[in-house]
Amino acid sequence: MNRLVIIGNGFDIAHRFKTSYMDFINWYWDMRVDGFVGNITKVSEDCLCKLIIKDKADINCWNVFAFQNSYFKDIQGNRTSQGYKVINRLKTLPLLCSIEFTPFFSTILQSIETRGWVDIEKDYYQLLKRCTESADCGYTVTDLNEQLSYLQEKLVEYLGTIGTGRPIKALQDAMIDFFNPADFSTEGKRIALENIGLDIKDIEEVHYDCEKRNKLIPERIMLLSFNYTATAKMYGNFNVVHNYIHGELERPENIIFGYGDELDKDYQGILDRNDNELLKNVKSVKYLETRHYHDMLEFLMSAPFQVLIMGHSCGNSDRTLLNTVFEHENCVSIKPFYHKWPNGSDTYLELVQNISRNFTNMRLFRDRVVNKEQCKTI
């Protein structure tokens, strides 16, 4: 019997890496503000936003602005304020400059402001659907794709600045630990035990019978990482393989950044429009560019397997793939690792709610997801 470990961004964050989309956007603003130095024009722009110094302002270019404001850089050239704070300051100076955001970038910033976090891929998909519904939405599909491609390029650049760390022993132990038959679904327990070579009556004996207990060691373990960073590679064992399903920083040309929700009720309408530009960032299509997806399918089909979820929110952006895993006939258990906050609250309920949306058969959902009492925190 095998184990599939689904790794998401929360896994990197557990290692104290600043890999959230909000961290990335804050870095983007740092780079934009740093770019004021040497800019001898009144315009600072990219495909996401444009900042324009007004004609009646008492400065004539962004370079002058940079050196006239002590909150921007000190005498040694070090930043004295974060980029996003400089931008927020500029928003309060309408006589000095104007700031124009694209609808896509404006949506991203609004998510950060109102919720404190953002799902760029989800926001992209929602705007894409709006574009198919109305020709007067203020942007085109080509605009959206150009901006998503630019964000992907910058995200790769940002993640390349993040260093490496050390593996967390508790996570390493959980990955290679013995199977606990109590975690198996009612429906999957029989095929799991048959594959392992145990009988129902043997379960009581595994705690003191080493020979039987050793049969509960996973035969193969696949770390299915949805991240681009190398964090998952810090974890290994004789029976562990790594699968970077969305690509990795070492090969940026293979990185997948887009949406993957074919279960959405509006997806068929997108297909029916017969416009390949709408499908440019569909994950299912991008999966065909490498062997990663087929390697995963071969792993799922090879033997019964348990799923561990470490740091993946199980949101709709990956719903097509997660549905394939969760409802697979060989899946006997789905064990989520959840986060516990300092105030005692936790994310277990929210996580299993997200997991439920990846099922079309709710009976399987109720049977396969391990209850909170048997799950651990990350």
The 10s digit of each residue's pLDDT in 190-226 is 999 999 998 877 777 777 788 888 999 999 999 999 9
Query: What value does the mean pLDDT take over residues 347-367?
Result: 98
Q: Confirm whether 126 is domain-assigned.
A: yes
What is the spatial distance between Cα 361 and Cα 350, in angstroms, rounded to a whole number? 19
We report the CATH number of the domain holding residue 329 as 3.40.50
Percent of the chain residues past pLDDT 70, beyond the cut? 97
Torsion-angle region of residue 130: left (phi > 0), alpha (psi -120 to 50) or beta?
alpha
Q: Are residues 91 and 220 in the same domain?
A: no
End residue of a domain, out of 130, 159, 188: 159
Q: Confirm whether 195 is domain-assigned.
A: yes
Q: By mean pLDDT, which of 76-80, 242-246, 357-361, 371-375 is the weakest?
A: 76-80
Q: What is the pLDDT of residue 96?
A: 94
Q: Confirm whether 297 is domain-assigned.
A: yes
Q: Confirm whether 368 is domain-assigned.
A: yes
Per the structure, the count of domains in the chain is 2
Q: Are residues 140 and 219 in the same domain?
A: no
Domain range enclosing 128:
21-159
End residue of a domain, out of 159, 180, 201: 159
Q: Are residues 48 and 149 in the same domain?
A: yes
pLDDT higher than threshold 90 for residue 71:
no
Q: What is the pLDDT of residue 116?
A: 87
Query: What value does the mean pLDDT take over residues 80-87?
Result: 87
pLDDT higher than threshold 60 for residue 75:
no
End residue of a domain, out of 117, 137, 159: 159
Q: Are residues 42 and 153 in the same domain?
A: yes
Q: Confirm whether 257 is domain-assigned.
A: no
Q: 72: pLDDT confidence band, cut at 50, 70 and 90?
A: low
pLDDT higher than threshold 80 for residue 255:
yes
Q: What is the pLDDT of residue 57?
A: 86
Q: Are residues 138 and 10 in the same domain?
A: no
Q: Are residues 123 and 14 in the same domain?
A: no
The 10s digit of each residue's pLDDT in 304-325 is 999 999 999 999 999 999 999 9
Q: Are residues 148 and 34 in the same domain?
A: yes
Q: What is the pLDDT of residue 74?
A: 62
Q: Are residues 102 and 218 in the same domain?
A: no
Q: Confirm whether 255 is domain-assigned.
A: no
Query: What value does the mean pLDDT take over residues 223-248?
Result: 96
Q: Are residues 329 and 219 in the same domain?
A: yes
Q: Are residues 66 and 98 in the same domain?
A: yes
Q: Are residues 6 and 57 in the same domain?
A: no
What does pLDDT average to over the chain?
Answer: 93
Q: Are residues 62 and 190 in the same domain?
A: no
Q: 302: pLDDT confidence band, cut at 50, 70 and 90?
A: very high
Q: Confirm whether 276 is domain-assigned.
A: no
Q: Confirm whether 138 is domain-assigned.
A: yes
